[in-house]
């Protein structure tokens, strides 16, 4: 009897342990499910900041990049030719006489050779000039209006130099408004408020509006245009910041409208030129003459080749195709370029078939297939670039400004920013002095 009771107790104990194990297993399954969800979420976030299209400044977790940076040899590369700053011709000469020893105050027994040094110096800060302008008025015989001639700004109490300087401090030097206020106070003893700085930029943008609209007309006449876009906040709402770059113009535009509406607003409905950009579907909806950016493609193929051995062959062949695209010149006969164009499309088709045969490359194969005839447009039109780096570099200045300002407050602010940044970028592109152009345009 005691033996039976003892066995019953053992069974009950084992059953209790089994239930506890089952509860532990259920708990572990639940924790595993929760951890998988966390891993998926973190993987999505990681892909945002560590993907082929992430700027190097945001690739904080790229171990290979950090390793290369540490192992790289410091200093100039072997064979680098040093450069010395050119000594400028002096505009004045100042003689420093020697009457006593600067160390002990002793008497100088004999004067020796004269040492010469050329020093560049800026003038000390001086207050702004306050000028009263007396303008003669008169009645026009032809129109009967009372008129006056002065060449002064139509609005406000600040001259053209102040308006230009404040605007460039804000948008070219990218200073926050509080620092613009501080700079004016320190350099010229001009006391202004934050509202005044904003009002000055509004006045300047109104004067530049006609030139801004003229740039839109010039872009429509260009045989090609580089286009890129990114997000920007306006009043906390996400808008799109667009950049359109031609050989001599750079245009910024901020809109919440649809992509096609923006394209038609800037380029019109019947643009006959070539669009150079990334794989945005809007470009294909707007026109069929597109050059897809090879820089984006090769960055992505490089990333895939590092993860999958099957992609290394694909990446090497894409690099060879890129060389063929970039080596074409205007001197090559049109029939020869047409033959090369057809040959490259045939080679790309073979690469697409190879990518489709590998499970891990099928998604990349879809990208190659969608842009099949757009990868080689430069072969037919050698005067364009095979990459969209020009638009990305132009957009970079605005992106830095976006980090500083955070968000634009309203649509009036967007008009001010897009007009002024457009004119500054275009003047720089044309090799013009921004201050002189700004002052002349006001």
Q: What is the DSSP letter of 54?
A: S
- Which residues are within 8 A (CB) of 83 and not within 5 positions of it... i.e. 6 or more apart? none
Tokens of 223: 């045989």
**Alpha-helical segments (H) within 222-333:** 259-267, 281-286, 294-307, 310-327
Mean pLDDT, the chain cut into blocks of 10 residues (442 residues total): 67 80 87 88 72 60 50 74 82 89 88 88 87 88 86 87 95 93 93 93 94 94 94 89 95 89 91 91 89 93 89 93 93 93 94 91 91 92 94 90 84 91 95 95 90
Name the strand (E) or helix (H) holding 240.
strand 237-245
The residues with which 98 forms a beta bridge, in sequence order, are none
| Dihedral in degrees, nearest 10, Cα atoms 6, 8, 13, 16 | -170
First to last CA, the chain: 111
| CA 62 – CA 49 distance, rounded (Å) | 9
How distant, in Å, are the alpha carbons of 25, 34, 270, 292, 407 from that of 402?
51, 37, 32, 27, 7
pLDDT at 236: 84
Give the predicted TM-score (pTM) of the model.
0.81
User: What is the distance of C-alpha 205 from the center of its chain?
Assistant: 22
Q: What is the tens place of the pLDDT at every residue in 120-163?
A: 888 888 888 888 888 888 998 888 888 888 888 888 889 999 99
pLDDT at 67: 47
pLDDT at 56: 57
pLDDT at 3: 66
pLDDT at 195: 93
| CA 425 – CA 128 distance, rounded (Å) | 29
Cα dihedral across residues 56, 59, 60, 64: positive or negative: negative
Name the strand (E) or helix (H) holding 182.
helix 177-188
**If you search the block for the tokens 């010149």, which residue do you land on?**
329
Whether 204 and 163 have beta carbons less than 8 Å apart is answered as yes
Whether 434 and 223 have beta carbons less than 8 Å apart is answered as no
> Residue 151, by phi and psi: left (phi above 0), alpha (psi -120 to 50) or beta?
left
Nearest alpha carbon to residue 277 among 385, 438, 362, 187? 385
**If you search the block for the tokens 């090879």, which residue do you land on?**
294
User: What is the distance of C-alpha 211 from the center of its chain?
Assistant: 23
Residue 135's SS3 state is coil
């Amino acid at each position: 009897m005691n033996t039976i009771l003892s066995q019953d107790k053992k069974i009950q104990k084992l059953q209790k342990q089994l239930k506890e194990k089952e509860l532990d297993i259920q708990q572990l399954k639940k924790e595993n499910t929760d951890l998988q969800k966390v891993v998926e979420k973190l993987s999505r976030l990681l892909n945002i900041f560590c993907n082929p299209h992430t700027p190097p400044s945001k690739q904080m977790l790229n171990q290979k990049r950090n390793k290369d940076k540490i192992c790289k040899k410091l200093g100039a590369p072997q064979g680098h030719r040093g450069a010395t700053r050119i000594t400028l011709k002096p505009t004045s000469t100042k003689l420093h006489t020697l009457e006593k020893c600067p160390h002990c105050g002793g008497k100088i027994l004999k004067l020796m050779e004269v040492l010469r040094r050329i020093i560049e110096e800026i003038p000390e800060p001086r207050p702004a000039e306050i000028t009263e302008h007396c303008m003669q008025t008169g009645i026009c015989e032809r129109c009967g209006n009372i008129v006056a001639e002065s060449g002064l700004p139509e609005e406000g109490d600040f001259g053209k130099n102040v308006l230009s300087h404040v605007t460039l401090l804000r948008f070219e030097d990218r200073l926050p408004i509080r620092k613009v206020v501080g700079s004016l106070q320190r350099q010229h003893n001009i006391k202004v408020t934050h509202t005044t700085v904003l009002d000055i930029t509004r006045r300047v943008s109104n004067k530049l509006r006609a030139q801004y609209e003229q740039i839109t007309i010039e872009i429509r006449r260009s045989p090609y245009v580089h286009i890129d876009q990114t997000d920007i906040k306006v009043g906390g709402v996400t808008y799109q910041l667009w950049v359109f770059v031609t050989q001599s113009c750079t245009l910024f535009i901020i809109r919440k409208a649809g992509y096609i509406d923006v394209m038609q607003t800037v380029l019109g409905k019947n643009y006959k030129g070539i669009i150079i950009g990334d794989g945005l579907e809007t470009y294909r909806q707007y026109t069929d003459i597109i050059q897809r950016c090879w820089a984006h493609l090769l960055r992505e193929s490089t990333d895939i080749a590092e993860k999958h051995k099957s992609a290394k062959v694909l990446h090497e062949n894409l690099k060879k195709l890129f060389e063929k695209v970039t080596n074409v010149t205007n001197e090559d006969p049109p029939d020869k370029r047409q033959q090369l164009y057809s040959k490259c499309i045939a080679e790309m088709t073979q690469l697409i078939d190879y990518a489709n045969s590998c499970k891990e490359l099928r998604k990349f194969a879809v990208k190659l297939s969608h842009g099949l005839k757009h990868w080689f447009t430069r072969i037919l039109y050698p005067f364009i670039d095979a990459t969209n780096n020009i638009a990305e570099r132009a957009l970079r200045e605005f992106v830095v400004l976006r980090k500083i300002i955070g968000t634009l407050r309203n649509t009036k602010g967007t008009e001010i920013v897009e007009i002024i940044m457009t004119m500054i970028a275009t003047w720089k592109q044309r090799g013009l002095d921004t201050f002189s152009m700004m002052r002349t345009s006001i």
